[in-house]
Structure 1
Amino acid sequence: MSVYQDKATGKYYFVCTYKDWQGKSHRKYTRGFKLARDAKAAERDFLNQQHGTNCMSFKALYELYIADCRARLKESTVISKDSLFQHSILPFFQRFDNIGNITPAHVRQWQNELLTKYKPTSCRRIHSQLSAIFNFAVKYYGLARNVACIAGGIGKRKADSSSYWTLEEFEKAIEQVQALQDKAALTVLFYSGLRVGELLALTVADYDNKANTITVTKTLSRTATGYVIAPPKTPKSRRTVTIPCKASAVLNAYIATLYEPQPRDTIFIGLNGNHLAYVIKLAAAGADVKKIRVHDLRHSHASLLINNGANIKAVSERLGHDDIKTTLNTYGHLYKNQDNALAAMLDKL
């Protein structure tokens, strides 16, 4: 390996020649390593990445994988992936200098540690990310097998019970909220089923106070440098939602307090998910109802619809799901709870 020491600084650097995917030769020069072995390891990882061999380190594989994700996925999705890897995957697997040496037994050991730290639904989500990176290595870099798949999955896709407020619980909680902006935001979330990002991206022009409709065309999305207005989560997320008069009344009262609002002005300016989570925490404690997440207001809305006889297609379209399967996977258990009501209806026929 072409590793040298800089006499002036005492640090090490490597120099190597490689060919790109078109066969053109390039020269790579990287310096600043405290130890010669660090420079050698960096050179080896770099060459393995260029040659696509499966003897690269796990950390080098991750850098390739996350770079590929950045080119193909929304920035907010990549940020979430990176967070899972940094906190739950890399601390265990980055010690492997050769991904071919990782065995199913290693994955099982990692899984056992994971199960002591996280809830079953989180374990499943984190494990799926590990499986995804190994699939990436198998498909594009010659790794022989996906050891995460061989080790088997862990956790659960859904929690044993979903957290949501009934109408009675919501009405008790909302009475505890004093600030009109907070009250309007939580009321719209509960009665519309909007995602939090969709709510925070709403402008004055998106709301028709005569028809009581909210048109969703965008969402507030997180990036590495802050929050930006981005396209909605899926094509079906572009939709118009009619809200009940009681929700419109609260929203109208709040908008009336804004100073000369313009069509392009954000309705809930300055509001964020963390603040709403804090408001919900205080409201739940004051009303003596269970504490839920902000996103659980969306679940509360879906549960309210389903328990009052809404059909699955209508619920799916209102929530902006890409297909009915998503709605069934999330809320199918609520439809099962209506079995007795359906039997009673058949008896009346």
Structure 2
Amino acid sequence: MASFKQETNKKWSVQFYYKDFTGKTQRKHKYGFNTKKDAKLWAEEFIRREEGNINMNFESLYEEYISDISQDLRESSLKVKKNIVEMYILRYFRGIKLSKIDSRFIMKWQVEIKKRRLSDSYLSTINSQLSAIFNYACRVYNLPNNPCKMAGTMGRKRKGNIGIWSQEDMDAFLEAVSDKTEIRYAFFLMYWTGIRVGELLALTVSDLDFDKGTLSITKSLNRTGGRDIITPPKTEAGIRTIHLPEFVLAEMKEYCDKLYGRTESNRLFTVTKSHLEKEIKRGAGIAGLKRIRVHDLRHSHVSILISRGVNIGVIAKRLGHESIRTTLNTYAHIFDEDAKKVAEILDNGYTGGNE
């Protein structure tokens, strides 16, 4: 039973007991409500949330979800997730009880979001964020099913339209940006290693081991709230050692010899992600190439590996993917193109049973 009190400042407070997730009885005292009704509604919702009652409001579930996942996400990733939910989800679901949200409700929400004329890939991302919240409810609060799965997807993930440069394209591009030494070597290393831009920007001189011929990826740089933050890679698989071919080692040795005054703990490249984006547009324009994103250099690297018959497991490990499935899903269209050559290979090797 909750007790209510109007304080000297005319605000209301509420005090009550509840059982936490361990089954222990706890006391809760909350101040600052404008009315007794507000205090009562808050106390009832708090208890529903603590008990895992699916009659809790959607925003209560969202608060719990964010609280639980915040320790496992980078600050930048958490910020992106919050922005999507607050802009496209919360305004539609606020105040709605979980038990009232079914596939029909989700489908109506999808219709409203589609009116905003967002890209297919972004629609898919928004839908995935909502589905992740309901997956959490199914796992933690025993929600019978995920209404997003029953409603179907919205938009589609971007597949098959990844920008890719061939080696000839890259050579032309590097020539076009050769007037800026650091820029040229940064793009060169990304193309021939497939590392992410955040991983590139976090590299220190000591991450290059010329004796072993390797590059160590142990951190990533992200800019959040106007400041640079160095964090570990998103997953354990992201921490990896990449073996470099001799020509890449030679180029990077040449670059490091130009770094007068930098110690092994200094950053290998001091440029920013936005500057790299500007430079890839500039270089593509000078070289007369189709424009691609900086991240597409990673895809270009994979394209080279696939075309040269590198094992999918090796590719996944080089990229820092947690599983081969991630690699297959991301680059399915490239594998499909390469698979067309299988018939020709089999034809060339067929002997008809003859010696």
TM-score (norm 2): 0.84
Residue of structure 1 in register with 2:64 after alignment: 64
Amino acid aligned to 1:99: L
Amino acid aligned to 1:235: E
Residue of structure 2 in register with 1:296 after alignment: 296
State the Cα distance separating 1:47 from its structure 2 match: 2.5
Residue of structure 2 in register with 1:327 after alignment: 327
Residue of structure 2 in register with 1:101 after alignment: 100
Return closer, same or farther for 1:291/1:43 CA change in 2, 3 Å cut-off. Answer: farther
Residue of structure 2 in register with 1:274 after alignment: 274
Q: Does 1:119 find its partner at 2:154?
A: no
Residue pairs, 1:1-349, within 5 angstroms: 5-6=6-7, 8=9, 10-20=10-20, 21-31=22-32, 33-34=33-34, 38-73=38-73, 75-96=75-96, 98-116=97-115, 117-177=117-177, 178-209=179-210, 212-221=213-222, 226-269=227-270, 271-349=271-349
State the Cα distance separating 1:37 from its structure 2 match: 5.2
Return closer, same or farther for 1:102/1:325 CA change in 2, 3 Å cut-off. Answer: closer
Instruction: Please state whether the residue corresponding to 1:338 is helix, strand or coil.
Output: helix
Return closer, same or farther for 1:102/1:280 CA change in 2, 3 Å cut-off. Answer: same
Instruction: Please state whether the residue corresponding to 2:176 is helix, strand or coil.
Output: coil
State the Cα distance separating 1:109 from its structure 2 match: 1.6
Further displaced range: 133-142 or 197-206: 133-142
State the Cα distance separating 1:211 from its structure 2 match: 5.2
Amino acid aligned to 2:163: S
Contact 2:57 2:98 in 1 (8 A): yes
Further displaced range: 128-137 or 241-250: 241-250
Return closer, same or farther for 1:40/1:241 CA change in 2, 3 Å cut-off. Answer: same
C-alpha offsets along residues 224-255 of structure 1, whole Å, 9 cap, x if unaligned?
Answer: 79543333333333333233455445433433
> Partners in 1 of 2:328 and 2:26 — Cα distance?
53
Contact 2:124 2:153 in 1 (8 A): yes
Amino acid aligned to 1:233: K
State the Cα distance separating 1:194 from its structure 2 match: 0.8
Instruction: Please state whether the residue corresponding to 2:161 is helix, strand or coil.
Output: coil
Instruction: Please state whether the residue corresponding to 2:229 is helix, strand or coil.
Output: strand
> Partners in 1 of 2:318 and 2:50 — Cα distance?
47
Amino acid aligned to 2:98: I
Q: Could you tell me the percent identity over the aligned residues?
A: 35
Further displaced range: 272-281 or 180-189: 272-281
> Partners in 2 of 1:287 and 1:55 — Cα distance?
60
> Partners in 2 of 1:288 and 1:92 — Cα distance?
46
State the Cα distance separating 1:66 from its structure 2 match: 0.8
Gaps of 5+ in 2: 350-355
State the Cα distance separating 1:207 from its structure 2 match: 0.6
C-alpha offsets along residues 32-87 of structure 1, whole Å, 9 cap, x if unaligned?
Answer: x4566554443333232223222211111100111111245555543443233123
TM-score (norm 1): 0.85
Return closer, same or farther for 1:263/1:109 CA change in 2, 3 Å cut-off. Answer: same
Contact 2:52 2:141 in 1 (8 A): yes
State the Cα distance separating 1:142 from its structure 2 match: 4.5
State the Cα distance separating 1:306 from its structure 2 match: 1.7
> Partners in 1 of 2:312 and 2:140 — Cα distance?
40
Instruction: Please state whether the residue corresponding to 1:337 is helix, strand or coil.
Output: helix
